[in-house]
């Protein structure tokens, strides 16, 4: 039986903004059904790595491979760009991203927000999308909010709507960029519960988070980034229970502020 390739594979990825090198050669994989958490101080390259993975940012060197299919590039260094626009669209629609800020359309109801991309990007059947959108809003606990507008919801409810919107694309992987950091602590717990439920279902997820408890609870694998490189990685009990790196020990110490 042929072994399935990872959903996401990143090899020796480099990303710079002008002279500022943010990623200095990062390699990692996300096998199907695994949850990978990316942790590290502000400026370590976590969010940049996620954005490069979803082709929202162009990287200058290295390979991005999705389900065994490498991204094709043209040009090199700072002129490197994806060569195939259709491939980019396919990859982006197969990896739904949930941002720190919710990015809901203010003029649309919550249901319309969730339905929009499957209808316009994937051109799926309207009745099927409606049914799917309502089911995902139920799943994240806000099925009764279909007809209200984003401004009428709390931050936690808006983020749960953003997660429902991501799920409605039926993606192969979910990418979370600090999904709870814009929320008050009590609202944060609503979103953490949804993420834990999704992890328990065996969804492939990459999570950039400042919440070490969330990373410890949901991850199959944790990656600690420091100044654009992977300083340490491994199973959560190993990383949080017996960190090898001095930098990781410092990062996890009670007084550390990331």
CATH code for the domain in which residue 21 is found: 3.40.50.300
Task: Please check whether residue 3 lies inside any domain of the structure.
Answer: no
Tally of domains in the chain: 1
Residue 192 main-chain phi, psi, to 5 deg: -60, -40
pLDDT of residue 2: 65
Q: Is residue 110 part of a domain?
A: yes
**Positive or negative torsion for Cα 82, 83, 89, 92:** negative
* Residue range 95-129, pLDDT digits in tens: 999 998 888 999 999 999 999 999 999 999 999 99
Q: Using 50, 70 and 90 to split pLDDT, how confident is the model at 169?
A: very high
Is residue 2 situated within a structural domain?
Answer: no
Residue 1 belongs to a domain: no
**Is residue 223, in this structure, part of any structural domain at all?**
yes
* 257 lies in some domain: no
Distance CA(97)–CA(105), nearest Å, equals: 15
Burial 95-124 (b: 16+ CB within 10 A, else e): bbbbbbebebeeeebbbbbbbbbbbeeeeb
Is the pLDDT at 255 greater than 70? The verdict is no
The 8 Å CB, 24+ separation contacts for 88-91 are 88/55, 89/121, 91/54, 91/55, 91/66
Range of the domain at 112: 8-252
Give every CB contact of residue 85 below 8 A, 6+ residues apart in sequence: none
pLDDT tens digit sequence for 213-244: 999 999 999 999 999 999 999 999 999 999 99
The answer to the question of residue 178 being in a domain is: yes
258 assigned to some structural domain:
no
Tell me: pLDDT of 89 over 80: yes
pLDDT digits (tens, 9 = 90+) for 18-61: 999 999 999 999 999 999 999 999 999 999 999 999 999 999 99
């Amino acid at each position: 039986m042929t072994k399935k390739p990872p959903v996401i594979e990143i090899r020796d990825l480099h990303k710079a903004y002008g002279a500022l090198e943010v990623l200095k050669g990062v390699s990692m994989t996300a096998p199907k059904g695994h949850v990978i958490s990316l942790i590290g101080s502000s400026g370590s390259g976590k969010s940049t790595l996620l954005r490069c993975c979803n082709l929202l940012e162009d990287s200058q060197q290295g390979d991005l491979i999705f389900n065994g299919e490498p991204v094709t590039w043209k040009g090199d260094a700072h002129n490197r760009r994806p060569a195939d626009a259709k491939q980019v669209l396919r990859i982006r629609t197969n990896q739904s991203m949930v941002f720190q800020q919710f990015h809901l359309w203010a003029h649309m109801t919550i249901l319309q927000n969730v339905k929009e991309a499957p209808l316009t990007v994937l051109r799926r059947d309207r009745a099927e999308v409606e049914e799917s959108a309502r089911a995902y809003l139920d799943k994240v606990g806000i099925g009764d909010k279909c007809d209200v507008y984003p401004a009428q919801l709390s931050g936690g409810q808006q983020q749960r709507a953003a997660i429902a919107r991501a799920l409605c694309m039926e993606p192969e992987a979910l990418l979370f960029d600090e999904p709870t950091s814009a929320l008050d602590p009590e609202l944060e717990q609503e979103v953490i519960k949804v993420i834990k439920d999704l992890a328990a279902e065996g969804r492939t997820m990459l999570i950039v988070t400042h919440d070490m408890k969330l990373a410890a609870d949901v991850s199959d694998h944790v990656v600690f980034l420091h100044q654009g490189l992977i300083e340490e990685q491994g199973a959560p009990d190993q990383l949080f229970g017996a960190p090898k790196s001095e930098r990781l020990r410092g990062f996890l110490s009670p007084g550390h502020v990331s």
